Amino acid sequence: MSKLANQPPPPPSDMDIDSAAAVEEKNPVRFSINVLELMREAQMQHGLRHGDYTRYRRYCTARLRRLYKSLKFLHGRGKYTRRNITESTVTDVRFLHVVFYMAERAWSHAMEKKTAGPNAPQRIYMLGRFRKAVKWAALFSQLCSIKGDSRTSLEAEAYASYMKGTLLFEQEKNIEAAMLNFKNTRTVYEELGKYGGIENQLLCRQRIEEVEPMIGFCSRKLGGSALQEHDLLDMEKEGPAYDLFKAKIEAVLSETRSQQAASMTEFNWLGRRFPITSAKTRVSILKAQQLERDLNGAATEPISADKKLAIFDKLFSAYHEARSCIRNDLASAGSAENIRDELNGLDKAVSAVLGLRTIERNQLLVSIAKSKFAKHRDEKNEKITKPEELVRLYDLLIQNTTDLTDLVSSGRDKNEEENAFVHEYELKDLAFRAERCFYLAKSYSSVSKRAEAYALFCYARSLADSALQELANSPHKP
């Protein structure tokens, strides 16, 4: 019995080997990749947080090099020998990562060319990169459907649909097919967003929000309806998806404004009318006026402070562009006195509006600072406003109001509306001085300088009383 026990087990028969192989075929290893999380993490950590597609492309190249080396999937010494990745090649999840990063590298290269403003030859090259990205994304989807689990396969399909939609959208040949691909992407992430943790749901929601404007853009183009300016401005956001159709939005906006500008012949300001002869000036002023309507809450939803500040930046840019056009016209006007007078009046009116909007923007900054000044400890660990910061903001407002009243008062006889405007901002100047004095007193009080703080509080009170008395006696009620 002991001899039998010490004997080695018999080798497996051919039948046993075949049956084991059959079990392995029936139950192949399924790899799992959270495609959206992988993509977001790679993009945000390596350049796309700041729209740097060159940095992201270089990261993809370096990542591919590391993957090739770790997998020993090299392409020869000296002379390049191409090695394809097929179903039989994928024995490790890193092979799927290789295909994914090949698609990402081609896509980032195309976006790099697109954001640089390509000319005709560069556009051909850019479309070639998009085609390559689609090819690798399709291979990624195909391999994931065979080697990945069900979620990985579904996410890879959505990824490939997005890449295909991107190419068709850029080619502008088959907008309907592009919209169908974007809708497929949206549908997948709507379903995936119903499951998993909060982070997964947020990622899916962000992806849906990126795709929605592109679907809307395609839908309007297919329906033949005019793309309204406020709808296009709503699409202007940040991120890789928006970089794709930013140029298209700008082109449509420019065309819409040019059509509207044809009917705009003059600029009205404080009861005066100034003729506008330059088409470029008209387009810039129209852009600024549309932004003013958005700023004043033309939309049904309230506008956040951050969004208002972003609109103010665009508004200032539009008015500065208008002033630049006006001054170029002045330089080329020669000695024609009538034309020069009209252009100088228009320049003064646009400068006054720019000054007025600057005051409104600084008042918004004051309200934001005051909301943080009242808190003892901010819930989001943000910096608490010090009284000195409010003093500096009121210094800016006092300078802004002085510049504006000087500008409106200068150069010609004032009409009734101009007199009322100047008087209103002189009263605001007094109010700003009173508030500046109040927060300066707060600053002294915070360092225990009680006597100085008391004197400043008294002076702030007297300034406020003077402003109220002048307002009560004013013939021009603001």
| Residue 398 belongs to a domain | no
| pLDDT value for 38 | 93
pLDDT digits 0-9 by tens, 373-387? 766 544 555 677 888
Cα of 222 vs its chain's centroid, Å? 26
Q: What is the CATH number of the domain that holds 96?
A: 1.10.3450.40
Are residues 426 and 349 part of one domain?
no
The arithmetic mean of pLDDT across residues 170-183, rounded, is 88
In a domain, 152, yes or no: yes
Question: Exposed e or buried b for every residue in 53-90, given b needs 16+ CB within 10 A?
Answer: beebbebbeebbeebeeeeeeeeeeeeeeeeebeeeeb
| Domain span holding position 107 | 26-246
Helices and strands in the chain: count of H runs, count of E runs: 17, 2
CA distance 254 to 370: 39
Considering the domain architecture, whether residues 319 and 178 belong to the same structural domain is answered as no
pLDDT band at 316 (very low <50, low <70, confident <90, very high): very high
One-letter identity of residue 150: S
Alpha carbon distances (Å) from 84 to 89, 128, 392: 8, 20, 64
Q: Residue 28: enclosing H or E segment and its boundaries?
A: none
> What does the pLDDT read at residue 28?
64
Q: 157 and 66 share a domain?
A: yes
Both 145 and 239 in one domain: the answer is: yes
> Per-residue pLDDT tens for 49-62?
888 999 999 999 99
Total domain count, the chain: 3
Mean pLDDT, rounded, of the chain: 82
118 or 396: which carries more pLDDT confidence? Answer: 396
For the four alpha carbons of 215, 216, 217 and 221, in that order, the dihedral sign comes to: positive
The count of other CB atoms within 10 Å of the CB of residue 289 is 16
Statement to judge: residues 51 and 83 lie in one domain: yes
**Residue 361 pLDDT > 90, yes or no?**
yes
What is the reported pLDDT for 295? 82
Do 129 and 110 contact (CB within 8 A), yes or no?
Answer: yes
The verdict on residue 4 lying in a domain is no
Residue 427 and residue 283 share a domain: no
| Angstrom distance (rounded) from CA 172 to CA 207 | 22
Three-class SS of residue 272? strand
CA–CA gap between residue 354 and residue 404 (Å, rounded):
9
Residues ≥6 apart with Cβ < 8 Å to 256: 226, 227, 229, 232
**Domain identity same for 300 and 345:** yes
* Residues 427, 467 contacting (CB under 8 angstroms): yes
Q: Taking residues 191-216, what's their average pLDDT?
A: 85
**Residue 201 sits in the same domain as residue 126:** yes
> Pick from 180, 181, 242: which is nearest to 209 by CA?
242
Nearest to 94 by CA among 68, 75, 74, 76: 68
Do 347 and 410 have their domain in common?
A: no
- What's the pLDDT at 353? 93
Q: Say yes or no: 158 and 76 in one domain.
A: yes
Return the structure tokens found at 283.
């387009």
Residues 128, 133: Cα–Cα separation, whole Å: 9
Tell me, yes or no, whether 12 lies in a domain: no
pTM greater than 0.75 (yes/no): no
pLDDT, residue 209, reads 86
Q: Which has the closest alpha carbon to 220: 258, 256, 189?
A: 256
3-state SS class at 274 = strand
In angstroms, rounded to a whole number, what is the distance separating the alpha carbons of residues 244 and 261?
A: 27
The answer to whether residue 354 sits within a structural domain is: yes
Task: Give residue 394's identity as a one-letter amino acid code.
Answer: Y
Are 241 and 94 members of one domain?
Answer: yes
* Residue 20 within any structural domain of the chain: no
In a domain, 17, yes or no: no
Three-state secondary-structure class, residue 268? strand
One domain, residues 52 and 201 = yes
In the numeric block, which tokens belong to residue 465?
A: 């009383």
Say what the pLDDT of residue 331 is.
85
Q: For residue 269, what are the β-bridge partners? A: 272
In a domain, 187, yes or no: yes
19 confidence band (pLDDT: 50, 70, 90): very low
